Amino acid sequence: MSDVAALAGVSHQTVSRVVNGHPNVAPQTRERVERAIAELGYRPNIAARALVTGSTRTLGLVTVKINQYGPAQTMLGLENAARAAGYSLSVSILDEATAAAMREAVDTFAAQRVDGILALSTYDDAAEALTALDPPVPLVAVQVGGGEDRPTVGVDQERGARLATRHLLGLGHRTVHHVAGPADSQEARGRTDGWCAELLAAGAPVPDEVLRGDWTPSSGYLAGKTLAARIRGGEDITAIFLANDQMALGLLAALHEGGLRVPGDVSVVGFDDLPESPYFTPPLTTVRQDFAELGRRGVQLVLARMRGEDLHPEPVLPALLVRSSTGPAPSPA
């Protein structure tokens, strides 16, 4: 920094103001300092800055199963929001959502002196681990129940499921069948709860059996084979809501193989709005989650906790996108 100051003909403090984005620097002076920085290839010493300010300007993110669309997009939303706020995001991706793995990752971030930690996982083991952790920096849960003493931000999963179910009932379907996500996923349970609540509110019968998948197209395909066989056996199944779009893709393939038309015989709704969903055959009606907004609120929450503020953001509201995979209930034969 002293070298930059000498080349630009300014004080050390002026260089510091320019580097830290301070507004009270004359435009000509700022330009001169920036030219000197570029010429010398100067980069701030992060370790030295942390010693002086007590801040590394870094947030830690612990996440699980990043190969799935929802967690991957949430991570991108958090990274973009952190960068916009002037922070870098250090990421720890866990293979399994166990309490031991979550605890180790949070302890490692604390040892690295990050300013705050975000934990992204909807699985029960990880959620239970969060309630037992007490790191020396603020810890915020994303897309998972935080408990009374753990701040959290997430998407209103129940509302999204109710929108999907209400849409199908509004098309005249007697009831809606459901293919749920994993039993230990809080997101999956929220979607199942919303589906059931909407059926009960409408006075529609709740199917006795809920098929369950693991978020993958192959599990949706197996569920589709089961449902297609039941339809061919005479069961009145005309509308299906799946807990994510990837399972819906597999189910659409199984229904097609079974000689069933979508939406002529069966209407199908997914959840997430994959980029590929408009190009499914037929294009998929789905529930869209705003991952960018989720990331913004997650970073906003952890920064507020770092300032000692008691912020409790509202859940992010999902939206229904109607495409060609849903239509009126077929007329009785």
Three-class secondary structure of residue 180 per DSSP: strand
Neighbours of 28 (CB within 10 A): 8
Dihedral sign (CA 56, 59, 62, 66): negative
What is this structure's pTM? 0.81
Q: Determine the average pLDDT of the residues in 233-239.
A: 96
The residue among 164 and 16 whose pLDDT is bigger is 164
Taking 50 as the threshold, does the pLDDT of residue 146 lie above it? Answer: no
**Exposed e or buried b for every residue in 141-151, given b needs 16+ CB within 10 A?**
bbbbbbeeebb
Q: How much is the pLDDT for 69?
A: 85
H-helix or E-strand spanning residue 242? strand 239-242
The residue among 310 and 114 whose pLDDT is bigger is 114
Whichever domain contains 177, its CATH number is 3.40.50.2300
The tokens for 82 are: 């952190």
Domain shared by 172 and 212, yes or no: yes
Domain shared by 247 and 130, yes or no: no
Confidence band, pLDDT 50/70/90 cuts, at residue 198: very high
Q: Determine the average pLDDT of the residues in 86-100.
A: 85
Q: How much is the pLDDT for 226?
A: 97
Q: How much is the pLDDT for 63?
A: 87
Confidence band, pLDDT 50/70/90 cuts, at residue 94: confident
The edge-to-edge listing of strands for the beta sheet with 267-269 is: 211-212, 177-180, 239-242, 267-269
Confidence band, pLDDT 50/70/90 cuts, at residue 143: confident
- Tell me the per-residue pLDDT of 64-76, one tens digit each, with 9 for 90 and over: 877 778 888 888 9
In a domain, 330, yes or no: no
Q: How much is the pLDDT for 52?
A: 53
Using CA atoms, how far apart are residues 242 and 253, in angstroms rounded to an integer?
14
- Tell me the per-residue pLDDT of 298-323, one tens digit each, with 9 for 90 and over: 999 999 999 888 888 888 999 999 99
If we measure between CA atoms, which residue out of 187, 179, 154, 91 comes closest to residue 301?
Answer: 154
Span of 9-18, 70-79, 146-155, 214-223 with lowest mean pLDDT: 146-155
Q: How much is the pLDDT for 148?
A: 47
Whichever domain contains 29, its CATH number is 1.10.260.40
Look at the chain and report how many structural domains it folds into. Answer: 3
Q: Determine the average pLDDT of the residues in 3-20.
A: 84
In a domain, 71, yes or no: yes
In a domain, 300, yes or no: no
In a domain, 267, yes or no: yes
Taking 70 as the threshold, does the pLDDT of residue 119 lie above it? Answer: yes
Q: Determine the average pLDDT of the residues in 137-144.
A: 84
Domain shared by 178 and 275, yes or no: yes
Q: How much is the pLDDT for 86?
A: 87
If we measure between CA atoms, which residue out of 159, 177, 178 comes closest to residue 318?
Answer: 159
| 279 secondary structure, DSSP code | G
Q: How much is the pLDDT for 314?
A: 86
Distances in Å between the alpha carbon of 179 and those of 57, 92, 209, 240?
A: 43, 31, 9, 7
Domain membership of residue 103 as a residue range = 56-153
Confidence band, pLDDT 50/70/90 cuts, at residue 34: confident
Domain shared by 93 and 137, yes or no: yes
Using CA atoms, how far apart are residues 42 and 8, in angstroms rounded to an integer?
13
In a domain, 103, yes or no: yes
